[in-house]
Chain A
């Protein structure tokens, strides 16, 4: 493959074509990705997959009306046709002054990671992982594991003169597993992480080995009796889901445009516990994944979302910011890093009178008012400061804002997933119920 694919020429052509077709403002993004992937299914190597794809997106604004056309071709005729289509679509739409493109800035180029998959080492790492899991966790079955190398090149231009070029190559590994012991079976669990190279054994990526080490004992899970109010010690894999739900309900485009977020006027004010600091760090060297520019054409800047409980930024994009009248998120909202606390996560267990170590959460979409409920999966009952046993058929229910306002501690240990860094977090109470 050509490692220096000239995508800038394509996006510049697309912007010119949009302008020629009648767009007042124009924006184009082009990406080209190749992927090499090896799969384990049911404990055996199964598939070696090589894919290539491209994507070109053209956005036209005509008198504040927007049209977007996307395709996976980039020859001149296809670009001209897509540009004409986007402009026609914009003319069919309705004006909205919030539609806009980012201001001009000179071309910036970024390069992160390697250019070519090392297939032999990928194979060796997977075989080593298979052997390790068989030896260490003999009753744990690998349902599906995927090791892939993705090389991505993306290019952006708009008619204000903003231009970006970003190339990267990263390895991604995910493992899904379950345990069976006679007639007893555990819930499946899974995790994954991103790395720039294959230097580390796969079980040492993210939280994979920790979660695999818990799987066998979870074959003995059973429900709790009745219901009670208790605390949650939320494990890092699960905390990522909760932070995502928090964003979806309180700080992202939809709740702020519609005004349903109770935090709509809370910038600079305390909204959750002072023990919580959430950063968005798309340029952090601590993370394998980097996101140098946003999809709407801004250079990203690392920023605080919540600082010691105080809301510092929403995660609004350009349209959401224009529409809601609130500031755009300088980071784009990705690459979440949560500050660690001072206690070891296992020490936090001793602070819990009665509650759960919540390792995975299988829940419904939270309501607009922040209410959530779901099943505690791969989780453990904590009583009088000790982990007592794994639980199954156990449900939790609460409210997101209340949960994050009632944080009792954050662990000093954190897991680096390559795209996020997350600790354990102790909060509560929530409603916990069994059968």
Chain B
């Protein structure tokens, strides 16, 4: 529910101040081999105040949202900023502002499902998997929805309310082959409440069949050969490449912290085929998986075009980094819980589609790999990255070959991007990602398929 009349607390602001009242609600139901192992609901809420003075921040939060608690938190945040300022204050440029004012809600208009409906949903999927694939050693299914609801006021004129939900269905299968277990999972969903995203479990059956088929292929698959190879990264991996390998290096706070991207602004860092954008809320006419209209500093959020035609054009900014670099804030300041301060975070990061066909791209590889699905990824200030790959195939003479068992791929992004020679003309998003950077926060990642050269950590 929107926090009413937040504006009245503005009278307590004595320095640059943000006040955020927030609630998080989640529902989870899950089964393991048919047993209900998760049947949870949670709600947590509270408020925080953040104050900027003499180049330093004070922050305070409380789970209460009474007027007295809000007053106390604003005063505590102010006192914290003054405590640091009295010891280490510095002269800084004033924080730029482009205040956002507005309300956005992605709440469903349908009747809300009760807990039994969530349990029935996952049990129906589990029963389907058990019937269709009785040889699977284990099945795990989980359905969840989470509502992130925020009301924000800033001393420079922003006032916003948002309810941005995210709903996911997770399915994981494990089977044995020659005495060894092999596993594969898939996640479906994105922005929206469960009622709007998942009509009936039956609609997921074709995708679950693909999951089961791929797992069987992987179990009988081969280890990838180590070393640098020509590969096609499908959209899931192109998305994590955009986020981990490039995105993190061009977050302005990490640029200030030592990222190699500090030396690359305005320079060619990728093949001219590459344009990479961190979208605020809408990409190519469609709502992004993690849409943001006004960030948690109150900035009207804009798309950040990071790389255009291979040239590094922008970093992602909050107000403080924008002041440092003398540019406009991009609206990338995001906080996870009410107790968290906003940090520079990605929103929906993607390489834009090109004009090649995926089939032609595969046909163009004599000896390499087609990697489809990643498990996780990590990046470095040097732009060296690593992704776990849980599904892929060999490419031999332009044709898909044996499936590949789990492996890891890596590279140095600003070198690897130069090797991109083809980009497919389609694009897809994943809205299930969580990014960890002090706080864990939902992110969207997307992209087309790309052809490039990359290091594969396989078995000799």
Say which residue of B33, B119, B341, B381 sits within 8 Å of A93 (CB atoms). Answer: B119
Q: In chain A, what residue has the closest Cβ to B411?
A: A393
Say which residue of A52, A72, A96 sits within 8 Å of B36 (CB atoms). Answer: A96
Q: In chain B, what residue has the closest Cβ to A260?
A: B181
Q: In chain B, what residue has the closest Cβ to A70?
A: B42
How does the 8 Å CB contact mask read for A377-416 relative to B, with 1 for contact and 0 for none?
1000000000000001101110000000000000000000
Q: Does B309 contact A (CB under 8 A)?
A: no
List of B residues within 8 angstroms of A393 by Cβ: 384, 410-412, 455
A150 to chain B, nearest CB (A): 12
List of A residues within 8 angstroms of B43 by Cβ: 70-72
State in angstroms the CA–CA spacing of A96 and B119 once bound together. 14
Q: Across the interface, do B181 and A368 meet the contact criterion of CB distance under 8 Å? A: yes
Q: Does B138 contact A (CB under 8 A)?
A: yes
Q: Does B201 contact A (CB under 8 A)?
A: no
List of B residues within 8 angstroms of A363 by Cβ: 386, 388, 408
Knowing A68-B40, A69-B42, A365-B388 are in contact, say whether A51-B60 is a contact too (CB < 8 A): yes
B389 to chain A, nearest CB (A): 7
State in angstroms the CA–CA spacing of A38 and B32 once bound together. 42
A30 to chain B, nearest CB (A): 12
List of B residues within 8 angstroms of A326 by Cβ: none
Knowing A92-B115, A94-B36, A393-B411 are in contact, say whether A185-B457 is a contact too (CB < 8 A): no
How does the 8 Å CB contact mask read for A48-64 relative to B, with 1 for contact and 0 for none?
11111111000000000
**Chain B stretch 362-396: residues in CB contact (< 8 A) with chain A:** 374-376, 378, 380-382, 384, 386-390
Q: Across the interface, do B260 and A185 meet the contact criterion of CB distance under 8 Å? A: yes
Residue of A51, A68, A260, A435 with most chain B CB atoms under a 10 A cut-off: A51
> Chain A interface mostly helix, strand, loop or mixed?
strand
List of B residues within 8 angstroms of A141 by Cβ: 257-258
Say which residue of A146, A228, A365, A369 sits within 8 Å of B181 (CB atoms). Answer: A369
**Chain B stretch 418-460: residues in CB contact (< 8 A) with chain A:** 438, 455-460
State in angstroms the CA–CA spacing of A227 and B456 once bound together. 11
Q: Across the interface, do A371 and B257 meet the contact criterion of CB distance under 8 Å? A: no
State in angstroms the CA–CA spacing of A46 and B40 once bound together. 38
List of A residues within 8 angstroms of B384 by Cβ: 187, 375, 377, 392-393
Report the interface size class on chain B: 35 or more
Q: Does B222 contact A (CB under 8 A)?
A: no
State in angstroms the CA–CA spacing of A395 and B438 once bound together. 26
Q: Across the interface, do B227 and A435 meet the contact criterion of CB distance under 8 Å? A: yes
Q: Across the interface, do A364 and B258 meet the contact criterion of CB distance under 8 Å? A: no
Q: Interface-forming stretch among B4-12, B79-87, B163-171, B326-334?
A: B79-87
Knowing A395-B408, A431-B226 are in contact, say whether A188-B378 is a contact too (CB < 8 A): no
State in angstroms the CA–CA spacing of A46 and B344 once bound together. 14
Q: Across the interface, do A70 and B41 meet the contact criterion of CB distance under 8 Å? A: yes
List of B residues within 8 angstroms of A434 by Cβ: 227
Report the interface size class on chain A: 35 or more
List of A residues within 8 angstroms of B18 by Cβ: none
How does the 8 Å CB contact mask read for A141-185 relative to B, with 1 for contact and 0 for none?
111101000000000000000000000000000000111100101
Knowing A363-B408, A431-B458 are in contact, say whether A375-B381 is a contact too (CB < 8 A): no
Q: Across the interface, do B458 and A397 meet the contact criterion of CB distance under 8 Å? A: yes
Say which residue of A43, A53, A85 sits within 8 Å of B63 (CB atoms). Answer: A53
**Chain A stretch 227-271: residues in CB contact (< 8 A) with chain B:** 227-229, 254, 257-260
**Chain A stretch 112-160: residues in CB contact (< 8 A) with chain B:** 119, 123, 127, 141-144, 146
List of A residues within 8 angstroms of B45 by Cβ: 72
Q: Across the interface, do B83 and A119 meet the contact criterion of CB distance under 8 Å? A: yes
Q: Across the interface, do A48 and B35 meet the contact criterion of CB distance under 8 Å? A: no
Q: Does A356 contact B (CB under 8 A)?
A: no
Q: In chain B, what residue has the closest Cβ to A55?
A: B44
Q: Across the interface, do A260 and B174 meet the contact criterion of CB distance under 8 Å? A: yes
Q: Does A47 contact B (CB under 8 A)?
A: yes
B412 to chain A, nearest CB (A): 6
Q: Does B282 contact A (CB under 8 A)?
A: no
Q: Does B194 contact A (CB under 8 A)?
A: no
How does the 8 Å CB contact mask read for B38-54 relative to A, with 1 for contact and 0 for none?
01111111101000000
Knowing A48-B58, A50-B76 are in contact, say whether A364-B376 is a contact too (CB < 8 A): yes
Q: Across the interface, do A92 and B375 meet the contact criterion of CB distance under 8 Å? A: no
B216 to chain A, nearest CB (A): 15
Q: Across the interface, do A227 and B44 meet the contact criterion of CB distance under 8 Å? A: no
State in angstroms the CA–CA spacing of A365 and B389 once bound together. 9
Q: Does A73 contact B (CB under 8 A)?
A: yes
Q: In chain B, what residue has the closest Cβ to A78?
A: B43
Q: Does A341 contact B (CB under 8 A)?
A: no
Q: Across the interface, do A50 and B386 meet the contact criterion of CB distance under 8 Å? A: no
Q: Across the interface, do B119 and A92 meet the contact criterion of CB distance under 8 Å? A: yes
Q: Does A66 contact B (CB under 8 A)?
A: yes
Q: Across the interface, do B375 and A47 meet the contact criterion of CB distance under 8 Å? A: no
Q: Does B230 contact A (CB under 8 A)?
A: no
Say which residue of B39, B62, B87 sits within 8 Å of A89 (CB atoms). Answer: B39
Q: Does A88 contact B (CB under 8 A)?
A: yes
State in angstroms the CA–CA spacing of A188 and B437 once bound together. 14
Q: Across the interface, do B36 and A143 meet the contact criterion of CB distance under 8 Å? A: no
State in angstroms the CA–CA spacing of A392 and B83 once bound together. 42
Say which residue of B39, B81, B181, B254 sits within 8 Å of A48 (CB atoms). Answer: B81
Residue of A53, A362, A365, A366 with most chain B CB atoms under a 10 A cut-off: A362
Say which residue of A53, A228, A365 sits within 8 Å of B375 (CB atoms). Answer: A365
State in angstroms the CA–CA spacing of A396 and B378 once bound together. 15
List of A residues within 8 angstroms of B41 by Cβ: 68-70, 85, 89
Q: Does B339 contact A (CB under 8 A)?
A: yes
Q: Does B148 contact A (CB under 8 A)?
A: no
State in angstroms the CA–CA spacing of A397 and B90 once bound together. 48
Q: Does B236 contact A (CB under 8 A)?
A: no
Q: Across the interface, do B253 and A48 meet the contact criterion of CB distance under 8 Å? A: no
Q: Across the interface, do B80 and A48 meet the contact criterion of CB distance under 8 Å? A: yes
How does the 8 Å CB contact mask read for A25-42 relative to B, with 1 for contact and 0 for none?
000000000000010011
Q: Across the interface, do A50 and B405 meet the contact criterion of CB distance under 8 Å? A: no
List of A residues within 8 angstroms of B254 by Cβ: 143
Q: In chain A, what residue has the closest Cβ to B257?
A: A143
Knowing A51-B60, A94-B36 are in contact, say whether A178-B257 is a contact too (CB < 8 A): yes
State in angstroms the CA–CA spacing of A258 and B140 once bound together. 10
Q: Across the interface, do A368 and B44 meet the contact criterion of CB distance under 8 Å? A: no
B69 to chain A, nearest CB (A): 9
Q: Which residues of A are at the interface with B, using a C-beta cutoff of 8 A?
A: 38, 41-55, 65-73, 85, 88-90, 92-94, 96, 98, 119, 123, 127, 141-144, 146, 177-180, 183, 185-188, 226-229, 254, 257-260, 319, 323, 362-369, 371, 373-375, 377, 392-393, 395-397, 431, 433-435
A-B contact list, 12 entries, CB within 8 Å: A42-B257, A47-B84, A50-B80, A90-B39, A92-B119, A187-B380, A226-B227, A227-B227, A323-B35, A368-B174, A368-B181, A395-B410
Q: Which residues of B are at the interface with A, using a C-beta cutoff of 8 A?
A: 32-33, 35-37, 39-46, 48, 56-63, 76-77, 80-81, 83-84, 87-88, 90, 114-116, 119, 123, 137-138, 174, 176, 180-183, 226-228, 253-254, 256-258, 260, 263, 339, 341, 374-376, 378, 380-382, 384, 386-390, 405-408, 410-412, 438, 455-460
Closest 10 CB pairs of A and B: A364-B388, A395-B457, A433-B226, A143-B257, A258-B138, A70-B42, A92-B116, A42-B256, A368-B181, A48-B80
